[in-house]
Structure 1
């Protein structure tokens, strides 16, 4: 073993043992070289390796500090099983790493951060986002990329601004993203729905709606649909795109879980769009944390100027500090490092959820996707409210999809099953209890 590798191992063990707690400054390079009886260049090689792994970070003219001396922790024990919460698990957040990026951003870009930016976003973040998008097979020009205050802002602006096809009605899958459904209902925007199930949508019905209705755009989640957890096949995506082109309908593709894709050949609809009719949206909420409030929108050239004008009237620009910190997080490799960790955590849970549904709830319609949220369709005679209350008394938290529908669309009795906040060893037990309750209906059947 080379000397620098031995020093690296020695420092790493001390950090993991808590001898150097999070935020602690390491001894100076001079002191370390004296301690280990070696040259300063050997110490720097060891420190560089620790920094590359995001275990320490450097502050110019100050020294090296510990970022985090712990790996992801298992959540503390609880006797309740939460299948209702869809937000990411708090312990998976890279808060220490990101705290470092925020501090570094303030130190490095202080002149830019404390003034108004541009409606499009921080230019260095846009350049870095372009590289990230390419890893999702989204190839675009920098001028088409907008940084938004979460995907929710992009959806709100796109819903109210005029489109080149001069149409006004929004088509949404049913069920769909509950906050967007809330927005459509709150603002009274003209919207119609098309049923989506674990098997997809009826393409003939989609064409009929495109032909007969005044459709401005079709809002869809092609992969890992919220709340169903299902994805379109490549043929379905191609057919949807062809119909959109035929009837001059735009598509808003919400690819909020792109980071959890395990099939490298499963490209977004945007990848096949040669007529600039697909608007691609990317969120960081699930892979990092919702509080970041940074999203990406890739727009057709025909919408750039209009979108920019409307965005300026809402917030001038999105948080510059968050943007600068995210730029550093992407640039130095922390994002990719964290993505792998979080993906592995959720992939393990997703496999258990999928197998548990197959073993104990196979008689109910469900998604075949291996993802951390799924669903089952319950019989029409089930009183969902009573059923959920019954399981809640057994400390099983569940949720229906009432908010995921437009008011005038038929509501299927869909039970969401999300394991974002369920520890691995509790997932199958929770599914067993759901299955047992369905075998013994008691008082919750209509």
Structure 2
């Protein structure tokens, strides 16, 4: 074994055993060389390898520090918990070093701009970069129609409140749909109605009737990897929705928040079929990088940019974050990380599907065949008491989310399901977690 390999092995062991904890500074290069009886170049090479593995990170003029380890500092039961509830990206694949490099580069490149308030629409360079970035998803637009927002939620809030050219006021939402947005619409007193969406898709005839008679301002939809269903519209459905929008002067707000997690097939969003300027396209960057980045992009057709800008009124997202994202995309880092994380999630989704097939032989649980994204719904028998089921699973250190909260408060056509997320589920735990869920649903006697 080469000397630096021995140093790496020893440091990895000490980190694993807790001798070096999250955030702790490692010995300086000089003192580590003396401790291991080797040259400074050997320690630099060992530290460099550990950086590449995302086990440690460096701070210029300061030293090397241990990256946060999953579950460290938590109780034993928490470290053993199977998490099917969190939708946050896996911390183990967070691109620490790449994004740190981009932040440093952004400061050097945009240092004068970072001390200004910035443009309401967002950093001009990032918006120009996004023109070609969005074109890869078949969304063709100019920089003047792109707005950088504080996540997709900010854009959704502005769109709900601003007037639209069609003069309508009611927001149409899929049922089930994004729970936080549903609660926002209800709390703000915005007129809202629902239309059923299942794993099989949507009733286009019913959608057309609502477009024709419902006074619909816009239809909020997630065309792929829908939250909470995890399913995507078929190409013919996407084309039909775009055509109906133009026919009845109803706008579509397409929340393509998981645009980058598609793995197995080419996907053209509803916006790609828009011929009349009725589709508003929204994209988030948090599912690929990290939620704290809190950056989204809104592409606005027709006369909407001027109204949207009036309601946005000021720059409210970090210029440094925007500049770093610009560098991250331009340098090809975003594309590389996208492929890495989509393959990771696809492998976890496959493991979940295989485990469900193995343990659900009785067919008590129904689930669509989903191979990409992070969500999969488990449809349950109507006799199941969801609250009791969640408690029983919690007792077994398994966290899941009830589908109950993904409907409007007064909506009656509900399905009973669990929303499963695989983004934070550790690969070695998926099989055991699925087995436990099936066992509890099959128990039956305690409903």
- Global fold match (TM > 0.5): yes
Structure 1 equivalent of residue 378 of structure 2: 376
What corresponds to 2:37 in structure 1?
none
Aligned to 2:152: 151
Name the SS for the 2:140 alignment partner.
coil
- Corresponding residue for 2:406? 404
Query: How well do the aligned residues superpose, as a CA RMSD in angstroms?
Result: 3.3
CA distance in 1, matches of 2:198, 2:6: 51
Contact 1:68 1:96 survives alignment (8 Å): no
Counterpart contact for 1:357–1:431, Cα < 8 Å: yes
CA displacement at 1:99 relative to structure 2: 2.0
Q: Which residue in 1 is equivalent to 2:419?
A: 416
The Cα of 1:342 is off from its aligned counterpart by 1.4
Give the corresponding residue for 1:433.
436
1:357 maps onto 2:359 in alignment: no
Return the TM-score normalized by structure 1.
0.83
Instruction: Find the counterpart in structure 2 of residue 336 from structure 1.
Output: 335
Change over 3 Å in CA distance of 1:58–1:126 after alignment to 2: farther
Report Cα offsets for 1:239-296 as digits up to 9, x if no partner: 1112111111110111111111124422111111111111110001111111101101
Runs of 4 or more consecutive aligned structure 1 residues displaced over 4 Å after TM superposition = 9-19, 21-27, 65-70, 72-77
Q: CA deviation at 1:79?
A: 2.2
| Structure 1 range deviating more: 275-284 or 83-92 | 83-92
- Find the aligned partners of 1:88 and 1:427 in 2 and give their Cα distance: 16
Corresponding residue for residue 294 of structure 1:
295
Cα drift, residue 169 of structure 1: 0.2
Residue pair 2:114, 2:320 contacting (<8 A) in 1 also: yes
Q: Is the 8 A contact 1:253 1:281 kept in 2?
A: yes
Check 1:81–1:402 CA distance in 2 against 1; reply closer, same or farther (3 A cut).
same
Match of 1:281 in 2: 282
Shift in Å, 1:107: 2.8
Counterpart of 2:391 (choices 389, 392, 407) is 389
Report the CA distance between 1:388 and its aligned residue. 0.7
SS of equivalent to 1:365: coil
Summarize deviations over 1:183-233 as a string: whole Å, max 9, x none.
Answer: 111101100000111101111111111111010000001110101111111
Rate the CA distance shift 1:109–1:208 in 2: closer, same or farther, 3 A: same
Q: Check the 8 A contact 2:379/2:418 in 1, yes or no.
A: yes
Q: Give aligned pairs, total.
A: 408
Structure 1, gaps ≥5 residues long: 1-8, 28-34, 37-49
Q: CA offset at residue 355 of structure 1?
A: 2.1
For residues 342-390 of structure 1, give each alpha carbon's deviation from its aligned partner in whole angstroms, at most 9, with x where no partner exists.
1221111011112223333344332222132201111222111111111
Q: Which residue of 2 aligns with 1:210?
A: 211
Q: TM-score scaled to structure 2, two decimals? A: 0.83
Supply the distance in 1 between the matched residues of 2:385 and 2:264 (Cα, whole angstroms): 38
* In the alignment, structure 1 residue 123 sits paired with structure 2 residue 124: yes
Does the aligned pair in 2 maintain the 1:167–1:214 contact within 8 Å? yes
Matched-pair contact (CA < 8 Å) for 1:118–1:317: no
Q: Unpaired segments of 5 or more residues in structure 2? A: 13-23, 31-39, 42-48
- Aligned with 1:243: secondary structure? helix
Task: Report deviation, 1:26.
Answer: 10
Distance 1:124 1:167, change over 3 A: same
Task: Call closer, same or farther: CA 1:23–1:100 in 2, change over 3 Å.
Answer: farther
Q: Residues 114 and 319 of structure 2 are in contact (CA less than 8 Å); yes or no, is this contact kept in structure 1?
A: yes
Q: Secondary structure at the residue paired with 1:219?
A: strand
Aligned equivalents of 1:14, 1:324: Cα separation in 2: 37
Query: What is the deviation of 1:399?
Result: 1.2
Contact in 2 for aligned 1:67/1:97 (Cα 8 Å): no
Cα distance, 1:93 vs. partner? 1.5
Cα separation, 1, equivalents of 2:433 and 2:122: 44
Q: 1:23 deviation in Å?
A: 11
1:169 to 1:409, Cα distance in 2 relative to 1, 3 A: same
SS in 2 for 1:237: helix
CA contact (8 A) 1:54 1:97 kept: no
The residue aligned with 2:17 is: none
Distance 1:23-1:146 versus aligned 2 partners, 3 A rule: farther
